[in-house]
Amino acid sequence: MSLMFNGIGVSRGIAIGDAYLLRRNQIDVTSRTLSKKSVPGEVRRFKRALKAARAQLLTAREHIPKDAPSDVSSFIETHILMIDDSVLSQRPIEIIKTELINAEAALQQQREELIKVFGSMDDSYLATRIDDVNHVIDSVLRALDDKAEQVVGAEHWKGQIIVADDLTPADTVTMQHHGVAGFVTETGGQLSHTAILARSLGIPAIVGVSSIRRYIKTGEIIALDGRLGMVLAEPTDDMLSAFRRQQKDTRQRQRELDKLIDTEAITQDGVQLTLSANIEIEEDLKALKRVNADGVGLYRTEFLYMNRDTVPTEQEHFKVYTKVLRALKGSPLTIRTADLGADKQVDGHEASRSRPQAHNPAMGLRGIRLCLSDTSLFIPQLRAILRASARGPIRVLLPMLTNVAEVAQCLRLIEQVKQSLRDENIDFDDGMQVGGMIEVPAAAIAAEQFVQHLDFLSIGTNDLIQYTLAIDRIDDQVNYLYDPLHPAVLALIRTIIDAGLKGGIPVAMCGEMAGDERYVRLLLGLGLTDFSMPPNLILETKRNLIGSRRSTLKKQVNALMAAQTTEERQALLDKINASAPEH
């Protein structure tokens, strides 16, 4: 009998193959009391486990395909850095020695401390890094247990679909090396590194399929659709035929998308579009170049502050930014200043460590609020950005703005930094543009005021939607309320776009909506022409937009905005997405 399961599709593609259930033994974290004389042996045992876990990561790194996107190796490097960091390599040893407990219990105790820190993070991307902490700690715990099953080279996995509770980035790379057809996990989300890796490596994948391993056996045939998040177990012949047709269509679709790389981004009624890329690390530039993006619309800089004992210096910032500029070869670079927060303790920064934890981090001292509160974090970055502006086209983007007083403070500070550079005879672009992230409803409503003081605006839909609807999109209990089509959300987006048009400054969007095929035509109808997204979504977005007429979409969007129910809005959105001819 055929069974259908639904989850979160995190990597598009159709996969058909035999299921392989990856079952790991339950990790034993029972606490045992040690005698003082047995402590040295326990410490040696812990160090051997660290070494073994590190060796597994190094092996996975060697298996990364040479033509894989460069961010693939960065995830493995992140786990290696975590293993080498004193938080995991030294702190458990201190616990073993002081509390006279076994390595497993000491490591589990340290895990619980880290979960408290990461679990309260308001930035959904950084909050998912707890997955990395858990993956690394679990790999060490398995290395402590000789009986635990490890994900090792398994040539019989070729062509099979892995079904597991969860997968680490190292698991994912290993599976790609052995040619798995796809994978399904019971846990995970869109923003986990495993999901991102699956997309980068082109592995069809679905996560969040609760309890699927209870119903599927190793060896039975399954099929999955990574776009719809659908898994079929023991499909009928007719179902298999339909999936194989979809497989063929998907390959053809990608070949057609590749033909658009050098196609001008312009709608059928002559509206010029800008399709830029969101990047976080310089290695993302390879993917950006492949799709011929219009520069970088959002460069996240928080990575510079993480996993280190000191805050980054001005020179470190400068070197990174100039390296990215060289790679862009004249294309514009929009740098978002550090969007750190009270919950994200800046590693190596004494003031951050001593600051009390926010009761509600999402509404606490974060983004531009923190930068203005502690200019010792802000000024080195501003100096580096301005110095780099002499090497190529740079714009600076201020995150988490709430009122124009913050803008005025920032502009005064930027002018002070400019004057100090003049005094030191250091070159910079005196006309460097300064923009603001509009992601707080208050800022959206007051967008016309911001337009009077800034050179451009960029809409951060991830936070804008969460703040508007008072929900956390990574909280499984309420994320069903995360609705980009909510009339309040659409009204705020239109308000921002209209304010930019009225004030004569450009408005971009760098939130997830900008690269979501369900919403890009809707956004074009609202007046948006500047989209920034992960590089791998640019060609799909270009295809959706160049086949559209903004004049037609505007009328359809007006009808959608007037709709009274969710069902009506969804039906009108479907009509919008069906209105443009396919290419």
Q: Which whole number is the average pLDDT over 405-434?
A: 97
CATH architecture assigned to 3-23+150-239? 3-Layer(bba) Sandwich (3.50)
pLDDT digits (tens, 9 = 90+) for 380-416: 999 999 999 999 999 999 999 999 999 999 999 999 9
Catalytic positions, written as ranges: 193, 510
Q: Smallest Cα–Cα separation from 111: which of 85, 138, 93?
A: 138
Sign of CA dihedral 326, 331, 337, 340: negative
Model confidence at 178, in pLDDT bands (50, 70, 90)? confident
pLDDT at residue number 483: 87
Ranges 172-181, 343-352, 360-369, 556-565, most confident: 556-565
Q: CB within 8 A of 511, min separation 6: which ones? A: 439, 459, 460, 461, 462, 463, 464, 465
**Burial group, residue 454, by CB count within 10 angstroms (0-12, 13-18, 19+):** buried
pLDDT at residue number 22: 84
CB atoms within 10 A of CB 280: 16
Are 129 and 79 contacting, i.e. CB atoms less than 8 angstroms apart? no
pLDDT at residue number 281: 64
Question: Tokens representing 2?
Answer: 């055929």
pLDDT digits (tens, 9 = 90+) for 204-217: 999 989 889 999 99
pLDDT at residue number 293: 94
User: Is 151's pLDDT higher than 50?
Assistant: no
Q: CB within 8 A of 224, min separation 6: which ones? A: 14, 15, 161, 182, 184, 204, 206, 230, 231, 232
User: Is 253's pLDDT higher than 90?
Assistant: no
**In the chain, pLDDT over 90 holds for what percent of residues?**
52
Q: CB within 8 A of 85, min separation 6: which ones? A: 307
User: Is 330's pLDDT higher than 90?
Assistant: yes
Mean per-residue pLDDT over the chain, rounded: 85
pLDDT at residue number 26: 61
pLDDT at residue number 25: 57
pLDDT at residue number 62: 78
**In the chain, pLDDT over 70 holds for what percent of residues?**
85
pLDDT at residue number 343: 40
Q: What are phi and psi of 271, to 5 degrees?
A: -85, 120
CA distances from 15 to 204, 224, 225, 350 (A): 6, 5, 7, 50
Q: Smallest Cα–Cα separation from 212: which of 445, 461, 6, 518?
A: 6
Sign of CA dihedral 280, 272, 399, 312: positive
Are 410 and 372 contacting, i.e. CB atoms less than 8 angstroms apart? yes
pLDDT digits (tens, 9 = 90+) for 468-526: 998 865 555 666 677 899 999 999 999 999 999 999 999 999 988 998 889 999 999 99
Lowest-confidence region among 18-27, 481-490, 537-546: 18-27
pLDDT digits (tens, 9 = 90+) for 333-377: 999 998 876 344 454 555 444 455 554 556 677 788 888 888 888
HEC string of 185-228 equals: ECCCCCCCHHHHHHHHHCCCEEECCCCHHHCCCCCCEEEEECCC
Pairing of strands 333-336, 230-233: unpaired
Pairing of strands 394-398, 333-336: parallel
β-bridge partners, 457: 436, 507
CB atoms within 10 A of CB 274: 17
Check: CATH 1.10.274.10 for 36-144? yes
Question: Tokens representing 36?
Answer: 């003082």
Provide the CA 488 distance to its chain's centre, in angstroms: 25
Go through 392-423 and write b for each residue having 16 or more CB atoms within 10 A of its CB, e for each that does not: bbbbbbbbbbbebebbeebeebbeebbeebee
pLDDT at residue number 345: 46
pLDDT digits (tens, 9 = 90+) for 69-117: 545 666 677 788 888 888 888 999 999 999 999 999 999 998 888 877 6
- CATH for the stretch 272-489+504-512+527-534: 3.20.20.60
Model confidence at 303, in pLDDT bands (50, 70, 90)? confident
Model confidence at 154, in pLDDT bands (50, 70, 90)? low
pLDDT at residue number 583: 43
Ranges of H-type helices in 329-423: 350-354, 368-373, 375-388, 404-423
Q: What are phi and psi of 297, to 5 degrees?
A: -90, -20
Are 2 and 238 contacting, i.e. CB atoms less than 8 angstroms apart? no
CA distances from 258 to 203, 254, 289, 417 (A): 18, 6, 13, 44
pLDDT at residue number 423: 97
User: Is 571's pLDDT higher than 90?
Assistant: yes
**What 3-state class would DSSP assign to 236?**
coil
Q: CB within 8 A of 63, min separation 6: which ones? A: 173, 174, 176, 177
Are 464 and 442 contacting, i.e. CB atoms less than 8 angstroms apart? no
Residue 289 CA to residue 295 CA, distance in Å, equals: 9
Are 243 and 14 contacting, i.e. CB atoms less than 8 angstroms apart? yes
pLDDT at residue number 355: 52
Question: Tokens representing 149?
Answer: 């099953």
Provide the CA 575 distance to its chain's centre, in angstroms: 30
Q: Is the pTM of this model over 0.75?
A: no
CB atoms within 10 A of CB 117: 15
Q: In what order do the strands lie in the sheet with 182-185?
A: 3-6, 230-233, 221-225, 14-22, 161-164, 182-185, 205-207, 8-11
**What 3-state class would DSSP assign to 469?**
helix
Model confidence at 574, in pLDDT bands (50, 70, 90)? very high
Q: Which whole number is the average pLDDT over 548-571?
A: 94
Q: CB within 8 A of 574, min separation 6: which ones? A: none
Are 150 and 390 contacting, i.e. CB atoms less than 8 angstroms apart? no
Model confidence at 163, in pLDDT bands (50, 70, 90)? very high
Give residue limits of the domains in the chain: 3-23+150-239, 36-144, 272-489+504-512+527-534
Residue 490 CA to residue 178 CA, distance in Å, equals: 45
Residue 232 CA to residue 240 CA, distance in Å, equals: 9
Q: Smallest Cα–Cα separation from 449: which of 495, 512, 381?
A: 495
Residue 10 CA to residue 229 CA, distance in Å, equals: 8
